[in-house]
Structure 1
C-alpha cells in the first residue's frame, strides 16, 4: 500500500500534547479559530504535503468544511481517518444523553442512511453481535469523510490494543475485510504495542499490515522497549507510519529523523506542525533522507 510519505497530524489542532499541559492549552487557544488551522494545512500543502490524518473529534467537521471551501485542497489532499474518537462518545453521552449523542453523530447523514445505520446497530445490540455493532460504529465514524479522498482508515490504538490483549483474531480479520469491501481503501491500525501486534499478525497469517506506531530515539511510547520494536521492524513484513518521532518535543527534528530513516520499513511519518518555520525545517530535514 502506497501512502503519502509525509502526513500532517492533527493533535496540535485539538489541544493534545503528551509532554506539556501548558503547550496543549496554548494550542487549544491558538487553534480555536478554524482559519488558523486552514492556514497551517495550506502551508503544509504548499511545501508539497498531500496527506492529513484526522480523527472524528468535534473539530473534524469544521476542519473538513474549511478544506472543502478550498477547491484545490479538497481535490488533492488525501485523508487518513483515525477512528473511533471514543472520548467524544463518552462526553456527548454525558452532556446530551444517548439519544442526543446519536442524533448529533448522525447529523450529516441522509435520512435513508440514518435509518440503515440505526437499524443495523439496533439489530446488533439485540443479538449482542459485536461485529455488527463494530461495523455500525465504523459507518458512523466515516460519515464526515464520505466526499473525501480517503487512502486508508486507521483503527484507533485504544481498540486495536484492546482487541490485541484479548487475542481477538476475528476482530482484526473482520475490520480488514469490512474496510476493503465497503470503503475500497486500505485498512490500517494504530498501536502502542507494535512488537506484539506484528508478531500476532504473523502468527495469524494475516497479510502485510499498515501500522501506525511510535518510533523515536528516546524510546518514547515504544512498548515493550525500543530494542524489541526495532527487532520486529526488521524481522517482519510490515509497512509503518511512524508517529511520536520527536518524542512529544523531547527530541530535535534533525536527530529524530536521522534515527528514523536509518530504520527499515518506515514508509511514512506523521508530523505535527503549527508554524511555517517549523514546517519548512521539518520538510527540509525529511527530504535530506
Structure 2
C-alpha cells in the first residue's frame, strides 16, 4: 500500500479546532480568501508534501478549483477525500429541501453526469436498494475530485462508527468493493473507535485495512484508552494514518512525533499546516522521527 507519508489536513481551512472555538474563528477569518489556502498548499508541496485530505465541505469546490488552476499542484498532488460531509447534507436539506439540496450538490457536474447520477438515484429509491443508494451518494461526494489523483477515499468516522455500532459487516464490505471497482483507489476508514474497528475487521476477514484514527501521547480521542489502542495497533494487521497527533495543540511536535513513530504500523500522518514556517518546522521534525519511512 503506497500512500503519502505526510498528508496535509483540512481542519485549519474550514475552521475546525477541537480545543478552542476562538482559534477556530480566527482560522475561518484567516482562510476566508482561497488564495491564502492555495499558498499554504504550495508551501507544503515545496517542502516535499504531495498528499492532501479534504472533506466535502462547502469550501471544497473553491479549493479544488484553485489547485486545478496550478499546473504543478494539479498534476502532482494526491488527494484523500473524506466523505461524506454529513453536516452539509443536513443543513442543505433543511434550508433548500431535498430537491434543492440535490441541485446544489450536483452543480459542478456536467449535464451527462448529472443525468446519470439522478437516474441512478431515482431508480434506487424506487427499488429501495440501500447499497445502490449509498453508491449514488459516493458518486455525488466525489464530483469535486474529478480529474485529480485520488489515492485513497476515507469513509467519515461518523458513518464508520455508526455502521460499527450496528455490526454492519455488509456496509464495510460494500464500501471496500465499490471504491476498488469504481475509483481505482484505496478504500479507507476514519474512526474514533480504533480498537473495536480493527477487532471487527479481523473477525470479518477484511484484510489489512487503511484506518485513520487518533494516536498521540496524551491519549486524546483514543477510545477506549491509549493502552488498548496501542495493543491493537501491535496485534492486528492494519495500516494507520495517524491524526490528532498533537492532541489539538496540547503536545509539542518533538514529543508528539517521538512517541508516534515509536509505534508499529503507523504508515502516515495527517497534519494541519497554516503557514510556510509551520510547514517547514513540521516537515523537519516528522522526517527526523519517521526516518526511512518518510523519505
Structure 1: how far apart are the matches of 2:70 and 2:109? Answer: 22
Report deviation, 1:99. Answer: 1.2
Q: Which residue of 2 aligns with 1:231?
A: 231
TM-score (norm 1): 0.99
Number of aligned residue pairs: give it.
289
Is 1:173 aligned to 2:173, yes or no? Answer: yes
Aligned 1:238-277 pairs, distance under 5 A:
238-277=238-277
Deviations along 1:139-158, one digit per CA (max 9) or x if unpaired, are 00001111100000000000
Instruction: Provide the C-alpha distance between the structure 1 equivalents of 2:232 and 2:50, rounded to a whole number of angstroms.
Output: 29
* In 2: Cα distance, 1:229 partner to 1:76 partner: 34
Residues 92-171 of structure 1 correspond to what in structure 2 (within 5 A)?
92-171=92-171
3-state DSSP class of the match of 2:142? helix
Cα distance in structure 2, aligned partners of 1:164 and 1:127: 26
More displaced 10-residue stretch of structure 1: 104-113 or 178-187: 104-113
Structure 1 distance, partners of 2:196, 2:113, is 38
TM-score, scaled to structure 2: 0.97
CA separation in 1, counterparts of 2:255 and 2:125? 50
How far apart, in 2, do the equivalents of 1:172 and 1:117 lie?
Answer: 22
Following superposition, the deviation at residue 132 of structure 1 comes to 1.1
Partner residue in 2 for 1:41: 41
> What SS does structure 1 have at the residue aligned with 2:203?
helix
2:198 alignment counterpart: 198
**Residue matched to 1:71:** 71
* Aligned residue in 2 for 1:209: 209
CA distance in 1, matches of 2:109, 2:251: 43
> In structure 1, what is the Cα distance between the partners aligned to 2:126 and 2:224?
39
For residues 28-77 of structure 1, the C-alpha deviation after alignment (integer angstroms, 9 at most, x for no partner) is: 00000001100100110010000000111010000001111110010000
CA distance in 2, matches of 1:177, 1:260: 31
Unmatched runs of 5 consecutive residues or more in structure 2: 290-295
Paired position in structure 2 for 1:53: 53
Distance (whole Å) between structure 2 residues aligned to residue 121 and residue 168 of structure 1: 22
1:14 paired residue number: 14
Q: Residue 108 of structure 1: CA displacement?
A: 1.4
Q: Which moved more, 1:110-119 or 1:23-32?
A: 110-119
**1:267 counterpart SS class:** strand
1:115: Cα distance to partner? 1.7
Distance 2:64 2:112 in 1: 23
Moved more, 257-266 or 115-124: 115-124
Equivalent residue of 1:255, what SS?
helix
Distance 1:125 1:222 in 2: 38
Report deviation, 1:82: 0.3
**Cα distance between partner residues in 2 of 1:278 and 1:149:** 25
Post-superposition offset of 1:279: 1.3
Structure 1 residues without counterparts, runs of 5 or longer: none
